[in-house]
Amino acid sequence: MSSPVFDYAPAPESRAVVDIAPSYGLFIGGAMRDPVDGGGFLSISPSTEEVLTEVAEAGPADVDAAVIAARTAYAKTWSKMPGRERGKYLFRLARLIQERARELAVLETLDNGKPIRETRDVDVPLAAAHFFYHAGWADKLAFAGLGANPRPHGVAGQVIPWNFPLLMLAWKVAPALATGNTVVLKPAETTPLTALAFAELCQQADLPAGVVNIVTGAGETGRLLVEHPDVDKVAFTGSTEVGRLIARAVAGTPKKATLELGGKAANIVFDDAPIDQAVEGIVRGVFFNQGHVCCAGTRLLVQESVVEEVIASLKRRLGTLRLGDPMDKNTDIGAINSAIQLERIQTMSDIGEAEGATRWSPACTLPERGYWFPPTVFTNVAQTHRIAREEIFGPVLSVLTFRTPDEALAKANNTPFGLSAGVWTEKGSRILWMAQRLRAGVVWANTFNHFDPASPFGGYKESGYGREGGRHGLSAYLVPDETVGGGA
Ligand code: NAP
Ligand code: MG
């Protein structure tokens, strides 16, 4: 059955709201400076392959200078400042993100390839919300359940991925600053621009020099940062593979670490679920942000009696999604972030077909330039297939079926990951029964991919350890006060 697809006139967001410099240095000690011993690399727009700018690559001496700046700021100003004063800076940063929201959204869309609708409505508002939320905590740390006087660790070395560049920055920087730590942050190689814009916001907010330092670069810069001997706390979001390297590097050192890694979430649809809502949730779960989402609902588990209805409805819905220019306000699906990621997605999808699953995509024309992949659904998937076990990190859904709640649970938990899960049913008791037994850090009921700074996020098993957001997230940045009552 075909559904009506309306023609929309193009509604491009204006690029004129951003002013991208031809090149960028490193943000160290409150100022932009050229790298001492590093090089440079290009950041491109994945939807057009256009070169946006040249960015500095920090070498060992640069990372060292950034850590020294962070240490000095920690010792001289930030750790001595009362929480209510620190809070004012966080409020300022939050308001600046709001004031410059349009510019940040355009910058993120150009650099990352995700649709402007997402950066405008999700990434940027959530980043501001994270700063607002943590601004509120800065003077209330005595009530975080960590004793009357919990202490910061010192210098936090933070490494983030490319899928939500500004939002992941906010998840890392806001709790660190609220708790009195100072920061050296390394953005992902392919998406440094919003972090560099954030450096400007720090200057605009008059944040004391060295409290936030930003060192751009690739994996080697990240390694130099997490292995730097004067870093007290490591916070990483990225692949399980790199997470393992980092866990090994910090083992046996006094460093604290939190790791937010990959996922292979089950999205479970029972036969009593409202099918239309569930289909929206499936689409939101796996095609949001081109599937570049660690908690994406990539394994759809549908109760056998409704599988045909769900798949038919899902295919109809996918036929209405618009793929193309991410700067167009009507676009649902943007570009894949890099040529390397596109190749990974293509390879995994080819493996899916070779292993015997049935591949389907709606009719859609891919733009000629840039990195593109159509929304893809695999049916007839077995649990042993690689597309059902490994993270693809792209717009690819694997559909499996089940008959009983026990079987759904067994299949959902049959994964080395444990970041998130979704349950769709009208029965409240079943939601609770499933949520108690699913080995996943977040379980969404009759919704998917909902985020709030007050709600902790993090994984089980190979999805990492530690939580971000909420009171739980604060504990990653604080040493509990064991001497005075009230410890958790
Ligand atoms: P990645 O290769 O692990 O990279 C993540 C970050 O680590 C990047 O900044 C990267 O630098 C840097 N890096 C690479 N090698 C390093 C090393 N040896 N030491 C220190 N840092 C190093 O992951 P990605 O491909 O960018 O991102 C996709 C992955 O992230 C997916 O597997 C996804 O599930 C996961 N992810 C998890 C969460 C979560 O909250 N659990 C959130 C988002 C993404 P370069 O980019 O410059 O190479
Ligand atoms: Mg880029």
Q: Are 214 and 199 contacting, i.e. CB atoms less than 8 angstroms apart? A: yes
Atom of ligand 1 nearest to the CA of 186: 9
**Residue-level pLDDT at 37:** 87
Is residue 458 in some structural domain?
A: no
Q: Taking residues 213-237, what's their average pLDDT? A: 98
pLDDT digits (tens, 9 = 90+) for 92-134: 999 999 999 999 999 999 999 999 999 999 999 999 999 999 9
Same domain, 198 and 143: yes
427 pLDDT higher than 70: yes
Q: Over the stretch 22-45, which tens digit does the pLDDT of each residue have? A: 999 999 999 999 999 878 999 999
Report strand pairing: 233-237 vs 23-24. Answer: unpaired
- Same domain as 416, residue 285: yes
When pLDDT is averaged across residues 331-347 and rounded to a whole number, the result is: 98
The pLDDT assigned to 71 comes to: 98
H or E element at residue 367: none
Q: What whole-number distance in Å separates Cα of residue 300 and Cα of residue 288?
A: 15
Whole-number Å distance, alpha carbon 30 to ligand 2 midpoint, is: 24
What long-range pairs does 452-457 form, CB within 8 A, spacing at least 24?
A: 452/129, 453/126, 453/129, 453/130, 453/132, 453/133, 453/134, 453/174, 454/133, 457/260, 457/295
The band of 413, judged by pLDDT with boundaries at 50, 70 and 90, is very high
CATH code where residue 69 lies? 3.40.605.10
Where in the sequence is the domain holding 103, given as residue range(s)? 15-261+464-479
pLDDT tens digits, residue range 340-378?
999 999 999 999 999 999 999 999 899 999 999 999 999
305 and 327 together in one domain? yes
* Total of domains in the chain: 2
Closest listed ligand to the CA of 245: 1
Do 142 and 205 sit in the same domain of this protein? yes
Among 108, 202, 294, 391, which one carries the catalytic annotation? 294
Q: Is the pLDDT of residue 488 over 50?
A: no
260 is catalytic: yes
Do 256 and 274 share a domain, yes or no? Answer: no
Q: Which ligand is nearest to the CA of 47?
A: 2
pLDDT number for residue 423: 98
Overall average pLDDT of the 262-286 stretch: 97
For residue 270, tell me if it sits in a domain: yes
For residue 4, being part of any structural domain is answered with no
Find all residues with CB under 8 Å of 415, minimum gap 6, and list them: 264, 266, 299, 389, 461
- What's residue 482's pLDDT? 82
The mean pLDDT value of the chain amounts to 96
Tell me: do 47 and 139 sit in the same domain.
yes
Pocket lined around ligand 1, Cβ cut-off 6 Å: 159-163, 186, 188-189, 218-219, 222-223, 226, 237-239, 242, 245-246, 260-263, 294, 391, 393, 419, 464
pLDDT of residue 359: 98
Instruction: Name the residue with the closest Cα to ligand 1, atom 11.
Output: 219
Flag whether pLDDT at 487 surpasses 60. no
The model's pTM: 0.96
CATH code of the domain in which 311 resides: 3.40.309.10
Q: What are phi and psi of 165, to 5 degrees?
A: -55, -55
The answer on 281 and 169 residing in a single domain is no
Mutate to test the pocket of ligand 1, among 160, 189, 242 (most ligand atoms within 8 A of CB): 242
Portion of the chain with pLDDT greater than 90, in percent: 96
pLDDT at site 221: 98
Dist CA 424 CA 431 (whole Å): 8
- Give a yes or no: residue 88 inside a domain: yes
Q: How confident is the model at residue 8 (pLDDT cuts 50, 70, 90)?
A: confident
Whether residue 76 lies inside any domain: the answer is yes
In the reported structure, the alpha carbon of residue 188 is separated from the centroid of ligand 2 by a whole-number distance in angstroms of: 9
- Statement: residue 380 has pLDDT above 60: yes
At residue 125, φ and ψ (nearest 5 deg) are -60, -35
Same domain, 98 and 233: yes
Contacts of 438 (CB under 8 A, 6+ apart): 266, 409, 412, 413, 421, 423
Domain shared by 440 and 474, yes or no: no
Considering the domain architecture, whether residues 337 and 211 belong to the same structural domain is answered as no
User: Which conformational region is residue 463 in: left (phi greater than 0), alpha (psi within -120 to 50 degrees), or beta?
Assistant: alpha
pLDDT exceeds 50 at position 290:
yes
486: pLDDT strictly greater than 50: no
Whether residue 219 sits in one domain with residue 367: no
DSSP 392-409: --SSEEEEEEESSHHHHH
Ligand index nearest the alpha carbon of residue 370:
2
Cβ proximity of 188 and 195 under 8 Å: no
Active site residue 309: no
Provide the pLDDT for residue 4: 55
Residue 39: the pLDDT is: 86
Does residue 210 lie within any of the structural domains?
yes
Q: Is residue 8 part of a domain?
A: no
Q: Which two tokens stand for residue 12?
A: 């491009």
Q: Which residue of 41, 55, 163 sits with most ligand 1 atoms within 8 Å of its CB, as the best mutation to test the pocket?
A: 163
The protein residue with its alpha carbon nearest to ligand 1, atom 10, reads 219
445 falls within a domain: yes
Confidence of residue 223 (pLDDT cuts 50, 70, 90): very high
Catalytic residue among 57, 118, 189, 260: 260
Say yes or no: 64 and 77 in one domain. Answer: yes
Helix, coil or strand: residue 188 = coil
